[in-house]
Amino acid sequence: MNRVNRAPVDVDLALVGGGGAASLVLAALDRHGVRDLRVAVVDPVHKRGQDRTWAFWDRPGNDLDPVLSASWRQVEVVTAQRRRVLDLAPLRYAMLRSGPVYDRAAAAERRLGVRRIVAAADALDDDGERVLVRADGSAVLRASWVLDSRPRPPRRPGRTNWLQHFRGWWLASDTPVFDADRAVLMDFRTPQPARGVSFGYVLPVSDRYALVEYTEFSPARLTDAGYDAALAGYRDLLGLDPVRLVVREVEDGVIPMTDAPFDAHPSPRVVRLGTAGGATRPSTGFTFSAMRRQAEQVARALAAGRPPVPAPAYPRRHLWMDAVALRALDRGGVSGPEFFDRLFDRNPAERVLRFLDGATSPAEELAVMSSTRLSPMVAATAGDAADRLRARLVRGRRSR
Ligand SMILES: Cc1cc2nc3c(=O)[nH]c(=O)nc-3n(C[C@H](O)[C@H](O)[C@H](O)COP(=O)(O)OP(=O)(O)OC[C@H]3O[C@@H](n4cnc5c(N)ncnc54)[C@H](O)[C@@H]3O)c2cc1C
């Protein structure tokens, strides 16, 4: 669309950023039959094809079933000491490639008559009634509501600022080498970094084709060669013969793992979604389920004529528990493999997964928390409380 020197177009809803979060919103609007809304998407890129693979858990029997690449009722958590097989019923672990998600969003866009603006939004001026969306220096839209999912840093740095960073290979084998009935959720037999946690995982689509990844939760990324070496090491650990394998695709990613605050509602008519809106769970990096939950809430609200403001991605007490867990892992009080091993040892897998979705009761949360070793957690809780108090005092002094 040619936007030069045109008056801004009036819309009811502007999606600023058209990646994962926005694609799920578009599909949800379509599913909810929201037809009478003027919607626009602003993004310098029109996302298509396979640029990422989402793994998440949910209950089978929903709108994603037809587009999943694979799903598993059982997953493994592996440490040097044991291989734990977890039955996830009534949940499943699922794999969804980005291609079908973007295709679905594109089909929804056509049905909803969405206006696409291929440009980088640089300012959102919210006067409380309308938001003027500026892109490449000119005002392109005047929107009643904006859902903003452009990547952006948190409001201020966290007390712990880790990254989940990874590389994956889509491996094709000429002989059956993968167990297609089970995914490996976390395999902690990888060499552990000096500061942080590492693990490998395997998401098989068939007995000859799988996504094999090396992941770290740690403060900084590796070099290219570092990821390749780590992944080759994990491939060898799995007993896979490189001669019989072809790397069909490579997938890289970096996801924030931090207790830093993300502003989900920075001004009256701007709502942030996706990673920028705090949908990434600090202790795991999982984001997809929260984005999906919020997309559903946004679509329901709009279908009912209400403002598209979803509930926070996670309850506050969960963010606090994650801050404590991250701190304990970062300050070396707890080893990552031990932390996750105990979590799955002392709780049904389904409870842990619901906990990570922020869907457990306080009693269940107590059970989850008390499955970790007590003393480092108490130390991390005290440290976290002291840091919060210190930050509050500093802010108080500055505002005087
Ligand atoms: C490789 C990879 C694998 C992942 N795997 C998982 C997983 O298995 N499970 C899970 O739960 N989470 C996963 N995540 C995390 C998370 O689910 C994804 O990052 C997800 O895509 C986040 O959605 P988003 O909309 O917040 O950001 P994105 O999907 O990155 O979308 C942001 C959009 O904003 C656009 N944009 C940028 N600047 C501007 C601008 N100025 N104006 C307008 N638009 C702009 C970009 O072009 C992009 O389209 C993964 C992330 C990556 C990178």
Atom 40, ligand 1: which residue's CA is nearest?
120
Ligand 1 close to Cβ of residue 42 (< 6 A): yes
Q: How confident is the model at residue 342 (pLDDT cuts 50, 70, 90)?
A: confident
Task: From 275, 281, 356, give the residue whose CB has the most ligand 1 atoms within 8 Å, as the site to mutate.
Answer: 275
Q: What is the DSSP letter of 239?
A: T
Q: How far apart are CA 168 and CA 216, in angstroms?
A: 12
Ligand 1 close to Cβ of residue 151 (< 6 A): yes
Contact 22, 299 (CB under 8 A): no
Ligand 1 close to Cβ of residue 98 (< 6 A): no
Per-residue pLDDT for 6 more than 90? no
Sign of the torsion formed by the C-alpha atoms of 259, 122, 220 and 191: positive
Structure tokens at 111: 């049905």
Instruction: Name the residue with higher pLDDT: 237 or 364.
Output: 237
Identify the pLDDT of residue 2: 47
DSSP-H helix ranges across the chain: 20-31, 98-112, 224-237, 288-303, 316-330, 336-346, 349-356, 362-369, 374-399
* Contacts with 80 (C-beta within 8 Å, 6 or more apart), sequence order: 188, 189, 337
Mean pLDDT of 27-53: 96
Q: How far apart are CA 13 and CA 143, in angstroms?
A: 6
| β partners of residue 74 | 87, 182
Distance 5 CA to ligand 1 centre (A): 31
> What is the per-residue pLDDT across 326-337, written as a single tens digit (0 to 9) for each?
998 888 778 889
Contact 201, 213 (CB under 8 A): yes
Q: What percent of the chain has pLDDT over 90?
A: 77
- Angstrom CA distances, 61 to 78, 204, 291, 361, 388, stand at 29, 21, 19, 24, 43
Distance 299 CA to ligand 1 centre (A): 20
Lowest mean pLDDT among 168-177, 217-226, 368-377: 368-377
Q: How far apart are CA 177 and CA 179, in angstroms?
A: 7
* Contacts with 10 (C-beta within 8 Å, 6 or more apart), sequence order: 38, 141, 142, 143
Q: How confident is the model at residue 375 (pLDDT cuts 50, 70, 90)?
A: low
- Angstrom CA distances, 366 to 305, 318, 337, 360, 361, stand at 38, 11, 21, 10, 9
Ligand 1 close to Cβ of residue 278 (< 6 A): no
Q: How far apart are CA 343 and CA 84, in angstroms?
A: 12
Atom 30, ligand 1: which residue's CA is nearest?
19
Distance 149 CA to ligand 1 centre (A): 8
| Residues across the chain | 400
Identify the pLDDT of residue 170: 98
Q: Which atom of ligand 1 is nearest to the CA of 252?
A: 1
Atom 52, ligand 1: which residue's CA is nearest?
253
Sign of the torsion formed by the C-alpha atoms of 173, 177, 183 and 184: negative
Per-residue pLDDT for 178 more than 50? yes
Identify the pLDDT of residue 204: 98
Q: How far apart are CA 265 and CA 255, in angstroms?
A: 21
> What is the per-residue pLDDT across 100-153, written as a single tens digit (0 to 9) for each?
999 999 999 999 999 999 999 999 999 999 999 999 889 999 999 999 999 999
Per-residue pLDDT for 378 more than 70? no
Identify the pLDDT of residue 399: 66
Contact 31, 5 (CB under 8 A): no
Per-residue pLDDT for 386 more than 90? no
Tell me phi and psi for residue 297, to 5 degrees.
-65, -40
Ligand 1 close to Cβ of residue 201 (< 6 A): no
Ligand 1 close to Cβ of residue 54 (< 6 A): yes
Distance 275 CA to ligand 1 centre (A): 7
Q: How far apart are CA 52 and CA 107, in angstroms?
A: 19
Atom 15, ligand 1: which residue's CA is nearest?
287
How much is the pTM? 0.93
Ligand 1 close to Cβ of residue 253 (< 6 A): yes
| β partners of residue 96 | 54
Identify the pLDDT of residue 236: 98
Q: Which atom of ligand 1 is nearest to the CA of 281?
A: 11
